[in-house]
Amino acid sequence: MGTFLPYIYLLAALGFILAIKWMSHPSTARRGVIIGELGMVLAVVGTLLRSDVVEGDQYLWIFLALAIGSAIGAPLAYLMPMTSVPQLTALSHAFGALASALIGTVEYYRIQPTGFTMGALAAETLLGYLTTTASIIAFGKLQEILPTRPLTYKGQNIVSLGVLAMTVILAAVMVVSPGESWMFPAFIVLSLLFGILLVTPIGGADMPTVIALLNSSAGVAAAAMGFVLDNKLLIIAGALNGTAGLLLSMIMCKAMNRSFINVLFGAFGQVQTGAAGSAVQRPVRSATPEEAAAILDSASSVIIIPGYGMAVAQAQHKIRELYDMLTRKGVNVRFAIHPVAGRMPGHMNVLLAEADIPYDKLLEMDEINQDFPVTDVALVVGANDVVNPLARSDQASPISGMPILDADRARTVMIIKRGMSPGFAGIDNELYYLDKTLMLFGDAKGFVGSMVKELGSSH
């Protein structure tokens, strides 16, 4: 049996590669999940069959652990509302990384490695522990147990980088020589601490990048474990996840015209003291649901721009009703999705798909931006910085150079918003003060609901 095992692992690796490949399009994606699950089952069964690995009376404990993990994991996946997907993902990262870190810890005491193996083990435990605490903090922020604004103090970056430097130095010492007995526990504590320090100063709207990065680091931790255990399947699976996360976070950074360093250490989105508060109240035009519905009714093309506010208000189902109503009246309704809208990559697409909006109506920024000038109405629901024209015009603005959705180029702009508060970047939005802009003040769900009712009774 033992001689077959490497080939079972090979098949599992093939399953994982095909799983990612088939994720490229919605029509093949579910097949991808199934082949990925098969790969995982093969890997687990293959490992269980290794008589050299598993001692007979340990099967009971193994099955118990598998059962407990499934018993918690399954309801988590099914009962979490779709708006909580970012939190669930953060939690998932924390558990996966914790597993890598604990295994690395056991391996350290079991084989007392130095050299290459210790280097890989240090990478595994460092990334494992830091991803665990960082993901828990990210979860807290997304669940709003912790404040979503960046928490900062003076000299913060120096403290964080100092902790990281100490961690790396300890690791280097242990690579060169077996080291003192206090070193490994200290290394663990510092790794855990660095995870906390890393994410605490990062604000809520930067979570798409952060979650993608933590996804990547959990993957690299698993790959490093593959080096420690001399297991190619772990290396392949970890490398696939590591690059997936890294590439996603690069896409997110590009969509904000910011660098990793700026996201991680820039404490972006702190409350701007003074400037914003002292600004003169400028007049805006506002409209009632009846007026807004009448404008939509007479339009022939509408682009809806959703943002995190739509998720908070759980407005996606009402928006679907609005979409149905307008489509039935012959209005061309489409959705413009900014890459960083929401709290994780692709967040808005999932919510709109949940509300049963066909995915070919969900368009990326590059696909739809040229259509705004020939669009009657741009309806912004809970998005702010991603439609702020200041990104194009004001060099000094914190969002300068960020690619935005050109809502301001539509013939009429309508913005559903609770009040005039600034967005995450803490700056005023020029879009609100344009002559063609109508502010629709109210809760997104309620306001869209009233518009739907109005449209329904209009004939």
> CB of residue 114 vs other proteins: minimum separation in angstroms?
12
Residue 14 engages other proteins in binding (rule: CB under 8 A) = no
Q: Stretches 20-28, 273-281, 413-421, 432-440: which one binds other proteins (CB under 8 A)?
A: 20-28
Name the 3-class secondary structure at 3: coil
Applying the rule CB under 8 A, the residues between 366 and 425 that interact with other proteins are none
Q: Which is nearer to other proteins, 390 or 455 (CB)?
A: 455
Residue 32 engages other proteins in binding (rule: CB under 8 A) = yes
Amino acid type, 135: S
Residue 219 engages other proteins in binding (rule: CB under 8 A) = yes
> CB of residue 128 vs other proteins: minimum separation in angstroms?
9
Q: Which is nearer to other proteins, 344 or 425 (CB)?
A: 344
Size of the site for other proteins (CB under 8 A): 116
Q: Stretches 115-123, 259-267, 281-289, 306-314: which one binds other proteins (CB under 8 A)?
A: 115-123
Q: Which is nearer to other proteins, 7 or 359 (CB)?
A: 359
- Active-site choice (206, 366, 376, 385): 385
Residue 125 engages other proteins in binding (rule: CB under 8 A) = no
> Which residue in 221, 198, 197 sits closest to 125, CA to CA?
221
Residue 384 · residue 428 · CB < 8 Å: no
Among residues 1, 66, 159, 176, the one that binds other proteins under rule CB under 8 A: 66
Tokens of 23: 């994720």
Residue 154 engages other proteins in binding (rule: CB under 8 A) = no
Tokens of 250: 């690069």
Residue 114 engages other proteins in binding (rule: CB under 8 A) = no
Residue 247 engages other proteins in binding (rule: CB under 8 A) = yes
Among residues 10, 92, 143, 287, the one that binds other proteins under rule CB under 8 A: 92
Among residues 202, 211, 303, 440, the one that binds other proteins under rule CB under 8 A: 211
Q: Stretches 28-36, 190-198, 267-275, 290-298: which one binds other proteins (CB under 8 A)?
A: 28-36
Q: Which is nearer to other proteins, 67 or 275 (CB)?
A: 67
Residue 239 engages other proteins in binding (rule: CB under 8 A) = yes
Applying the rule CB under 8 A, the residues between 296 and 355 that interact with other proteins are 320, 323-324, 327, 337, 339, 344-347, 349-350, 353-354
Q: Half-sphere exposure (CA, 13 Å, Cβ side) for 263?
A: 23
Q: Which is nearer to other proteins, 324 or 443 (CB)?
A: 324
Q: Which helix (H) or strand (E) holds 377?
A: strand 377-381
Q: Give dist(CA 150, CA 21) in Å, integer.
A: 37
Q: Which is nearer to other proteins, 427 or 448 (CB)?
A: 448
Residue 73 engages other proteins in binding (rule: CB under 8 A) = yes
Does the active-site annotation cover 408?
Answer: no
Site string for other proteins, 259-298 (x = CB under 8 A): ----------------------------------------
Residue 227 engages other proteins in binding (rule: CB under 8 A) = yes
> CB of residue 235 vs other proteins: minimum separation in angstroms?
5
Q: Which is nearer to other proteins, 104 or 150 (CB)?
A: 104
Q: Is 265 left (phi over 0), alpha (psi -120 to 50) or beta?
A: alpha
> CB of residue 101 vs other proteins: minimum separation in angstroms?
8
Residue 185 engages other proteins in binding (rule: CB under 8 A) = no
CB atoms within 10 A of CB 294: 16
Residue 414's DSSP bridge partners are 379, 438
CA torsion, points 76, 80, 85, 86, in degrees to nearest 10?
Answer: -80
Residue 153 engages other proteins in binding (rule: CB under 8 A) = no
Catalytic residue positions, numbered: 385
